[in-house]
Amino acid sequence: MQNKDIAGILVEIADLLEIKGEDTFRVNSYRNAARTISSLQEDIADIAGSSGELVKLPGIGKSMAEKIREIVRKGRLSQLDELRRELPPSLLEILKLEQMGPKRTRTLYKQLNIRSVEDLEKAVENGKVQKLEGFGEKFATQILREIEEYHRKGGYKRFKISEAADLIRPLVDYLSKEVKDIEVAGSYRRGKETVGDIDILGISRDAGKAMEFFVNYPETSRVISRGKAKTSVMLHAGIQVDFRVFEKDSYGAALLFFTGSQAHNVALRRICQEKGFKLNEYGIYRGEERVAGTSETEMYKKMGLPFIAPEMREDTGELDAAKEGKLPELIELKDIKGDLQSHTRASDGKNSLKEMAEAARGKGYEYFAVTDHSKKVSVAGGLDEKRLARQMEEIESLNEKLEGFRVLKSVEVDILRDGTLDLDHGILREMDLVVCAIHFDRKLSKKEQTLRVLRAMENPFCNILAHPTGRLIGKRREYEIDLKEIMKEAAAGNWFLEINSDPERLDLNDVYIRQAKEAGVKMVISTDAHSVVGLDNIKYGLMQARRGWLEKDDVVNTRSWKEFRELIKR
């Protein structure tokens, strides 16, 4: 993480606190710290190892130092996550407009409940903003011009799949009260890591009534376009939703069409043309006669194809595979027998070992690896050999009580700059499983970084390389590393690459997953949960695995612990 990224997080907190109306002194402490960090010559991440060094910097006190250490360690700050939950994140989009500072944003939010650029545009057009003190006609003209520019630049961000999921859940609940068979299509159904807009389909005989119900959804900020077949709205959260209703007979065709991807659709249309059919969102036609349309399966069948899972519909070879009967049998949630990365209160998790273990058991798993950080990650309360030994005893006594379930003694050990590990080999040898990861020195050259990882993974007790590229979606790029080389060695060396299911990471991503499979690499899907709730993220990792065409056999934590243990022996 670079200095400017860390400063950016602190500035965002300052902005949000200011919008919230916190006192100036507190707000400024974040701005001052951000200023110090961005003007610093050396890497703040390197100083952050000891809080003693940090507090020597101007404008950084003890509690600020703690926060900086948390950012360095996790790439994010829980305080910011909380603030974003408290205030609509779309307020920050408003702040990007030059005319809008935190004070103005706050006034409009408090007085007119303006939560997004969309809200603001509408309120200005309706003349509401101009009536407030300090805004006026001149402001109105300028801001409308600026918003126009903002739209032209395609100012809307893509949403992380988990963010989209949180917005979709209540919306689907709401729509289900009026419309039957609600389905979410588009990139969301294909399981893409980010979603541009939300596409929802439903069955209704009375489309007008369905649309009326849709636009009355309380989270709607603006109706973009309204018709009988399709209506689009903007939600307060700043994401567009397209809602379409169909009749039963064409519902399969609609679902197929609006799930996409567009490239997949184009390829399907070609197949239909070759067979003398016409394809659209209402069905497959021979002349005027509809010959398929009710279900996706029926549609594919008419084209001479088996059902293709939404995650594979990207026109990256799935149609040839389907024609040849060579589609993979994609891994499913029920295949996963255990989670292999998790943190407890011993390092930076929120729940105790026992709580995490019980929650994992409640998911129907057979085993569960507790992988707290090692000591190098001191900001996360990383464990040294002594504390780890104690935790291992705790796990052993817990295991005696948990029948048919096993907590694995494990650790997320840091790979040091020179490729050595952050813990004595003596203790690593005692573990059931060792997960290795990079959290520092991300800026090495590609060659150095690759050698560093390979050197670490040469250790016979290292089993899994966690989050292999280190990226955070929308926040931090991957570090330079030769993944091809890593994959080659992993395939030969009997160690595994992680698919980290944290929706901010999704690392490996879908493209790398597929490359890894082709290189003969086995992978694991882990949550990296820092709380009981985090265990649910497994579904996001699973979707990426499916997008990477993985089958049960490609994923090691679909094995029983007994088989698993055999497999990791080196």
Residues of this chain that bind Ca ion (CB under 5 A): 186-187, 197, 199, 242
Out of ligand DGT, Ca ion, Zn ion, none, what residue 437 binds, judged by CB under 5 to 8 A for its kind, is Zn ion
Q: Tell me which DSSP letter residue 42 carries.
A: S
280 binds ligand DGT (CB under 6 A): no
Nearer to ligand DGT, 59 or 196 (CB): 196
Instruction: Tell me whether strands 240-246 and 230-235 are parallel, antiparallel or unpaired.
Output: antiparallel
- Using alpha carbons, list the distances in angstroms from residue 499 to 11, 509, 524: 31, 7, 6
Q: What is the DSSP track for 412-438?
A: EEEB-TTS-BSS-HHHHHTSS--EEE-
437 binds Zn ion (CB under 5 A): yes
Site for ligand DGT in 456-475 (CB under 6 A): none
| Helix or strand run (H / E) with residue 233 | strand 230-235
233 binds ligand DGT (CB under 6 A): no
Q: Which stretch binds Zn ion (CB under 5 A): 50-58, 320-328, 432-440, 512-520?
A: 432-440
Nearer to ligand DGT, 102 or 252 (CB): 252
Asked if 250 contacts 282 with a C-beta cutoff of 8 angstroms, the reply is: yes
Q: Which of 2, 51, 78, 261 is close enough to bind ligand DGT by CB under 6 A? A: 261
CB of residue 537 to ligand DGT, shortest distance in Å:
20
Neighbours of 320 (CB within 10 A): 11
Going 292 to 298 to 302 to 303, the CA torsion angle's sign is: positive
Nearer to ligand DGT, 126 or 262 (CB): 262
Nearer to Ca ion, 79 or 280 (CB): 280
Beta strands in 485-522 (DSSP E): 496-500
CB of residue 227 to ligand DGT, shortest distance in Å:
15
Q: Which of 260, 293, 328, 548 is close enough to bind ligand DGT by CB under 6 A? A: 260
258 binds ligand DGT (CB under 6 A): yes
CB of residue 466 to Zn ion, shortest distance in Å:
5
**Which of 498, 546, 549 is CA-nearest to residue 189?**
546
Out of ligand DGT, Zn ion, Ca ion, none, what residue 554 binds, judged by CB under 5 to 8 A for its kind, is none
Q: Determine the Cα–Cα distance for residues 445 and 453; give it in Å rounded to an integer.
A: 12
Which pairs with CB-CB distance under 8 Å and at least 24 residues apart come from 132-139? 132/107, 132/108, 134/104, 134/107, 135/104, 139/99
Q: What are phi and psi of 522, to 5 degrees?
A: -90, 150
* Residues with Cβ within 8 Å of residue 193, at least 6 apart in sequence: 160, 161, 473, 503, 506, 509, 510, 544
Q: Which stretch binds ligand DGT (CB under 6 A): 225-233, 253-261, 349-357, 551-559?
A: 253-261
Nearer to ligand DGT, 199 or 366 (CB): 199
Tokens of 360: 């994992």
Site for ligand DGT in 169-188 (CB under 6 A): 186-187
Q: Which of 195, 408, 473, 483 is close enough to bind ligand DGT by CB under 6 A? A: 195
Helix, coil or strand: residue 128: coil
Q: Which stretch binds Zn ion (CB under 5 A): 14-22, 189-197, 320-328, 431-439?
A: 431-439
299 binds ligand DGT (CB under 6 A): no
Nearer to ligand DGT, 185 or 435 (CB): 185
**Which of 542, 559, 539 is CA-nearest to residue 550?**
542
Q: Which stretch binds ligand DGT (CB under 6 A): 8-16, 139-147, 189-197, 544-552?
A: 189-197
Q: How many residues bind ligand DGT (CB under 6 A)?
A: 13
* Residues with Cβ within 8 Å of residue 318, at least 6 apart in sequence: 264, 308, 312, 327
Could you list the residues that contact Zn ion (CB under 5 A)? 437
Binding site for ligand DGT (CB under 6 A): 186-187, 195-197, 199, 257-258, 260-262, 265-266
